[in-house]
Amino acid sequence: MEDNVDGNSIKTQAFRDAWGNFATGVSLITTVEMDGSVHGMTANGIASISLDPMLVMVCVSRSANSYPIIKVGGIYGINILSVDQVEIAEYFAKPMEKRTGGLDVGFTFTDGGVPLLQGALSVMACKVVKEHVAGDHSIFIGLVESIDIKEGDPLLFFRGNWAFLESN
């Protein structure tokens, strides 16, 4: 067994590697900037919390560009990506200053102003009802206000790479 402990603290890389063994779905978190433009962030730190009421969560680094936009705007969309949306995941995973050339991505807007990605497997429009600070991230609890579901195969992330699962 590899010694992953340095003094009394676990090494950051060991922590990342351990979580890299947990295959996750990939989502695009969307929200709206003050000028009305769509802002997006690729994320896998999302989860369902409650059925009644329907609550979900997204974890956002407080140093991320998305953090103040979601905090001030109070809305976000969870867009669960399909296998044919790798390019979208890669684009929105980059820091804002490294997003060059643009990307032709279609969004629709809910009545509440939440931008949702066209072609995603599932989309959920959420209104922030609570923020929990945890370490260097904030957990935004969202009340789901609308849902749309499509058929297809999910995009996954495993050990730092995109992975694919074909449904039966």
Per residue in 12-31, pLDDT tens?
888 888 888 888 899 999 99
Please tell me the distance from the alpha carbon of residue 115 to that of residue 31, in angstroms, as a whole number.
6
Q: What is the pLDDT of residues 43-61, one digit of tens each?
A: 988 999 999 999 999 999 9
Please give the residue that has the higher pLDDT: either 35 or 167: 35
What is the Cα gyration radius of the chain? 17
| Token output for 65 | 């560009």
Distance CA 158, CA 137 (A): 21
Cα 166 versus chain centre, distance: 22
| pLDDT tens figures, 89-133 | 999 998 888 887 778 889 999 999 999 999 999 999 999 999 999
Helix (H) / strand (E) element for 88: namely helix 86-93
Contact call for residues 86 and 37 (beta carbons, < 8 A)? no
- From the list 62, 54, 61, 27, the residue with the least C-alpha distance to 42 is 27
pLDDT at 1: 42
**For residue 105, what are the β-bridge partners?**
none
pLDDT at 9: 66
* 80: confidence class by pLDDT, cuts 50, 70, 90: very high
pTM (two decimals): 0.88
SS3 95: coil
| Cβ atoms within 10 Å, residue 142 | 27
Residue 4 CA to residue 19 CA, distance in Å, equals 14
